[in-house]
């Protein structure tokens, strides 16, 4: 008999132990119907993690179905560890973004590090070698000591893992807002490149084929991590926090190399990362996709310590692990391969012709569950959203001291240089990085070719709060603008949907309307969704975070050599492309002066967005313009300050707008740098670059600074906060 004694089925039901695991009464009843009996303790835990929001998307699945997932370049869409798009010559770009928000709130270093490690393994499990990392980060204001602690820990964790494993961090974005106080958002994206014919899927098929465990030995870290990520962070949840997963980038590097070698073997049937819910999700999902069953012998699982129960083995989220299915008779070949890379590996089970996931430990049966209901039939909840009444606020900033507004915004961490963060990341490892983090998308050359992959990751939370439907469109559009600004053609996108509790009707409305807008923008901008992630129940101490969908997009530069010598210089002309309207809902000037975000309509024309973006892209690749800089947070004034500071060039601009319009944040606008007198569609020449000085003249205000002063504010925005006494 096994030495593991589990609570009785009667005790599980009567004491409602299932509720502590995250199942509702109705969900537990559904489990009983599926099994035609009460589940035992291990089975209850397995259902609880597989039916958690983090694994099953039970509140968001109806909205995800809106997204277009097919297109001329799509090779593999949602449903696998990552998506893949064609980049020509038989090659594919593989990419995905995922969140690690709750773990980063608990332990920022390891939370961020394991987030990076997990997204890398998702890419590697498809068969791609990673070429670049990106991150989208949200923190509370840096005036708070805890937010400074979180920033330090998260950035150290991202750098500690990514630098050690040898993958460059090539782009990202960071925002600071009180909404994220105590609940940071840590979204990590990875991009890889591979050959079409090596694309793998997480599938278990072929009765008798063997199941191989590879990687770190299993410990007790992260048990019920998927459930924890599916509930609000509050005082009541403190006691239920799982032990935090620990990343090991050096083992991660060995596992990456070994996995890519294993994928070259013809006997490999399927492979999947052991991510959220660990061995439970990987085994059940692989069996479900292969329409097979699977039997696992848990006494064969490599363990870090004695006494780990079958329940703990199945729910552990120990990092740096892969699950493989290989053809019967070839298992020794794979065991030897992993051993040669210094990794533990063991045959722990086999594929069966049944529809059951059966778990044994020393001949005792610990679970017997039908695969399809466990993996594919989690409950889906369609709730009632509630649209809040729009605000009738009238924006009037003409009487404000706009010079003070400029100084306050240009010195705020959201608008300032992110070098404090990026200098902790290696952006050049691999020697193929063409454009590093700091100003725009990352660009990485495809080794051995003239092609390059451009990648961007962006979000506009305040816009989504102000107007969920149109704000959702703008999130996609902003990332599209970043991609075309490199000269790349957008090929596809991935999304990470970060929101508060969907059980709050207003949050549910945000989720519903913003995804509707995002889906429309994906279609209009020819950017199908190939992968993604959902993170709900993100709450600060008093309320929900701002709705924060983040979009990652990948594009192709067919000949990166067009960029050679394409630099901006003193005497170049500055152009404003697109009309400016008094759009202040969700703007940074509203946040600064009014300390709120009003619910008011925003406007975006997706047809104009696409045609203008592709037109400017063509001008750039033809070398008729030198630089495209999309406008975003803080409007014209902030973009000019960032442009001057980043390139160490002064400027003298005169623009026929009211002063307050320098801070308006309406869609579809760009700053473009080109030779004077160029004919650029929908553009007005507004000034010149210079060697020194910084002047913006509007109808009723002049902002005049030295270039040194503007640069000092930009460069010091984050460091000045981080040197505050904690």
Residues belonging to the active site: 54, 100
Beta bridge partners, 674, equal 573
Buried/exposed code over 633-663 (b: 16+ C-beta within 10 A; e: otherwise) = bbbbbbbbbbbbbbbebbbbbebebbbbbbb
Residue 11 contacts residue 19 (beta carbons within 8 Å): no
Cβ neighbors of 610 (< 8 A, separation 6 or more) are 480, 524, 525, 526
Rg (CA), the chain: 26
Task: Give CA–CA dist 491/478, Å, rounded.
Answer: 15
Residue at token pair 């991150």: 135
Task: Give CA–CA dist 674/379, Å, rounded.
Answer: 55
In the structure encoding, which two tokens stand for residue 349, read together? 């089970």
Task: Give CA–CA dist 160/158, Å, rounded.
Answer: 6
Residue 564: how many CB atoms within 10 A of its CB? 8
Q: What stretch of H or E contains 74?
A: strand 74-76
Residue 706 contacts residue 692 (beta carbons within 8 Å): yes
The CA dihedral of 154, 160, 165, 167, to the nearest 10 degrees, is 60
Q: How far is CA 472 from CA 392, 412, 458, 496, 594, in A?
A: 22, 25, 12, 12, 23
In the structure encoding, which two tokens stand for residue 455, read together? 């990648």
How many Cα neighbours within 13 Å face the side chain of 706? 3
């Amino acid at each position: 008999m096994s030495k593991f004694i589990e609570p009785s089925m009667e005790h599980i039901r009567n004491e409602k132990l299932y509720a502590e695991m995250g199942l509702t009464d109705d969900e537990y009843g559904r489990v009983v119907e599926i099994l035609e009996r009460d589940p035992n303790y291990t089975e209850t835990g397995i259902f609880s993690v597989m039916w958690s929001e983090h694994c099953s998307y039970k509140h968001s699945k109806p909205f995800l179905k809106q997204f277009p997932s097919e297109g001329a370049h799509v090779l593999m869409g949602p449903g696998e560890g990552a998506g893949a798009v064609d980049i020509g010559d038989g090659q594919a770009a593989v990419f995905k973004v995922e969140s690690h928000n709750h773990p980063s709130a608990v332990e920022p270093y390891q939370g961020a590090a394991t987030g990076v490690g997990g997204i890398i393994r998702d890419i590697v499990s498809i068969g791609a070698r990673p070429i670049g990392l990106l991150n989208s980060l949200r923190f509370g204001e840096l005036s708070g000591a805890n937010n400074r602690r979180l920033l330090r820990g998260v950035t150290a964790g991202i750098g500690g893992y990514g630098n050690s494993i040898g993958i460059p961090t090539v782009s990202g974005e960071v925002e600071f807002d009180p909404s994220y106080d105590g609940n940071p958002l840590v979204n990590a994206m990875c991009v890889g490149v591979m050959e079409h014919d090596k694309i793998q899927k997480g599938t278990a098929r072929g009765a008798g084929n063997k199941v191989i465990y590879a990687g770190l030995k299993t410990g007790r870290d992260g048990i019920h991590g998927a459930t924890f990520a599916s509930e609000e962070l509050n005082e009541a949840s403190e006691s239920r926090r799982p032990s935090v997963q620990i990343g090991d980038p050096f083992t991660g590097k060995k596992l990456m190399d070994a996995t890519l070698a294993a994928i070259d073997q013809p006997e490999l049937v399927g492979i999947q990362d052991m991510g959220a819910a660990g061995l439970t999700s990987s085994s059940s999902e692989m069996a479900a996709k292969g329409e097979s069953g699977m039997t696992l012998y848990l006494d064969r699982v490599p363990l870090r310590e004695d006494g780990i129960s079958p329940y703990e083995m199945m729910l552990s989220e120990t990092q740096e692990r892969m699950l493989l299915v290989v053809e019967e008779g070839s298992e020794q070949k794979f065991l030897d391969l992993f051993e040669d890379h210094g990794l533990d590996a063991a045959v722990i089970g086999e594929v069966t012709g049944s529809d059951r996931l059966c778990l044994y430990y020393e001949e005792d049966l610990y679970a017997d569950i039908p695969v399809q209901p466990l993996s594919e039939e989690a409950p889906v909840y369609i709730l009632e959203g509630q649209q809040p009444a729009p605000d009738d606020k009238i924006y009037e900033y003409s009487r404000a001291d706009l010079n003070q507004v400029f100084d306050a915004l240009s010195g705020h961490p959201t608008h300032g240089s992110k070098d404090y963060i990026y200098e902790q990341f290696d952006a050049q490892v691999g020697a193929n990085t063409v454009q590093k983090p700091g100003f725009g998308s990352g660009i990485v050359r495809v080794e051995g070719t003239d092609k390059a992959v451009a990648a961007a990751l962006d979000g506009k939370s305040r816009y989504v709060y102000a107007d969920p439907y149109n704000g959702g469109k703008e999130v996609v559009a902003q990332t599209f603008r970043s991609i075309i600004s490199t000269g790349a053609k957008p090929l596809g996108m991935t999304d990470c949907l970060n929101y508060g509790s969907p059980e709050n009707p207003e949050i549910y409305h945000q989720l519903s309307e913003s995804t509707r807008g995002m889906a429309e923008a994906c279609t209009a901008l020819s950017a199908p969704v190939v992968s993604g992630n959902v993170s709900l129940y993100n709450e600060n101490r008093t309320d929900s975070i701002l709705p924060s969908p983040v979009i990652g997009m990948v594009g192709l530069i067919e000949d990166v050599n067009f960029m050679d010598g394409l630099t901006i210089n003193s005497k170049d002309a500055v152009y404003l492309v697109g009309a400016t309207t008094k759009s202040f809902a969700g703007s940074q000037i509203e946040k600064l002066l009014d300390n709120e975000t009003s619910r008011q309509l925003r406007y975006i024309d997706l047809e104009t967005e696409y045609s203008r973006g592709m037109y400017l892209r063509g001008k750039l690749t033809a070398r008729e313009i030198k630089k495209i800089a999309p406008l975003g947070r803080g409007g014209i004034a902030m973009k000019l300050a960032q442009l001057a500071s980043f390139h160490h060039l002064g400027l003298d601009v005169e623009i026929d707008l009211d002063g307050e319009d320098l801070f308006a944040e309406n869609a579809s606008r760009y700053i473009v740098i080109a030779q004077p007198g160029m004919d650029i569609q929908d553009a007005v020449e507004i000034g010149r670059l210079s060697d020194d000085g910084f002047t913006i003249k509007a109808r009723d205000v002049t902002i005049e600074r030295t270039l040194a002063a503007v640069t000092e504010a930009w460069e010091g925005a984050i460091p000045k906060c981080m040197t505050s006494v904690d």
